[in-house]
Amino acid sequence: MEEKLLRVVDFLWIRADPLTIAKVFLHALRLCLLRCALALVLVLFPSAIASGQEIVQFWPKINTYVKINHRFRLLFNASTTQEGGKDIGSQFGANLDIFVKPHFKLKRFTIFQLDEAKSRLLTFRIGYNYLPTPGKPPENRASLDATPRYPLKVGVSVADRNRIELRFIGGEFSWRYRNRLMVERTLGIHSYHFTPYVRAEAYYDSNPKKWSRTTEDIGCLFPIRRRAEIEPYYQHMNDTSKSPNRQTHGIGLVLSVYF
């Protein structure tokens, strides 16, 4: 999936015009809606899924951003994972974002977005998350992110997030590296602006010492007020950490509030 995204980025960089960009993202948005509809059908009718082969989940999440100054910001996050109408896990976290100076071209591309991190060439994040799971030991997770961003042509930007996670579960330690590539562009209908995106991520786990998971997402950011936005997305996850592989279809819904 990352190779496909790189081909798209290369195409947009070399010869795309605004009409082509709009067509690409509208096609991506239609694909997102179709996949979300399919996943919703599977959520409502789980018997349509072969047991043990594919999983359907719903991921509601709330992000609260609190700006300290032009270089630092706090993020508090809370989310749950729902499967078959039951909560099977939660996540609660606190993070510190560190910004470099805004980049003129990125700032122009992201003028209608609420997340000021999108206008920075490089951001860092230090975080801690607590993940309780019913019937299992909770996980304590520390993380460090570094995310460079690249402005391309006609409003397209690319972000390459690199994350190291230090995981403590039931007294055992492991670490995980995650690399996520994201391509997005803000579009407008009259005075309203929204931002569709595609992204792909790969996971390397110290236990079992291999690339154990890949995800592909497609979604969109919709501002609903001056300080809030909603983000529906679809994700396909392929987990190869154990045999047989697990395929997960997820519908995510994120509410982000900015102070």
**pLDDT tens-digit readout, 61-71:** 999 999 999 99
Spans of all domains in the chain: 2-258
Confidence of residue 150 (pLDDT cuts 50, 70, 90): very high
Among 82-86, 166-170, 227-231, where is mean pLDDT lowest? 82-86
**pLDDT tens-digit readout, 104-114:** 888 888 888 99
Q: Residue 244: is the preceding peptide bond cis (ω within 30°)?
A: yes
Supply the pLDDT for residue 9.
46
Q: Is residue 53 scored above 80 in pLDDT?
A: no
Helix (H, G, I), strand (E, B) or coil at 42: helix
Higher pLDDT, 248 or 26: 248
User: Do the strands 72-83 and 54-67 form a parallel or antiparallel pair, or are they unpaired?
Assistant: antiparallel
Q: Is residue 36 scored above 60 in pLDDT?
A: no
The neighbouring-strand residues paired with 173 are 168
Q: Is residue 222 scored above 60 in pLDDT?
A: yes
User: Do the strands 210-225 and 228-239 form a parallel or antiparallel pair, or are they unpaired?
Assistant: antiparallel
Token pair listed for 209: 């010492």
Helix (H, G, I), strand (E, B) or coil at 76: strand
Buried b (16+ CB within 10 A) or exposed e, 102-127: bbeebeebbeebbbbbbbbbebebeb
User: CA-CA distance, 148 to 30, in Å (whole number)?
Assistant: 28
The CA–CA distances, whole Å, from 10 to 24, 140, 202 equal 13, 39, 20
Confidence of residue 50 (pLDDT cuts 50, 70, 90): very low
Supply the pLDDT for residue 40.
55
Average of pLDDT values for 209-217? 96
Supply the pLDDT for residue 20.
57
Average of pLDDT values for 122-137? 97
Supply the pLDDT for residue 247.
95
User: CA-CA distance, 85 to 81, in Å (whole number)?
Assistant: 10
CATH number, domain 2-258, options 3.40.140, 1.10.1740, 2.40.160, 2.60.40: 2.40.160
User: CA-CA distance, 64 to 17, in Å (whole number)?
Assistant: 36
Q: Is residue 241 scored above 50 in pLDDT?
A: yes
Average of pLDDT values for 1-27? 51
Q: Is residue 92 scored above 90 in pLDDT?
A: yes
Average of pLDDT values for 149-167? 95
Q: Is residue 42 scored above 80 in pLDDT?
A: no
Supply the pLDDT for residue 37.
53
- pTM, whole model, 2 decimals? 0.81
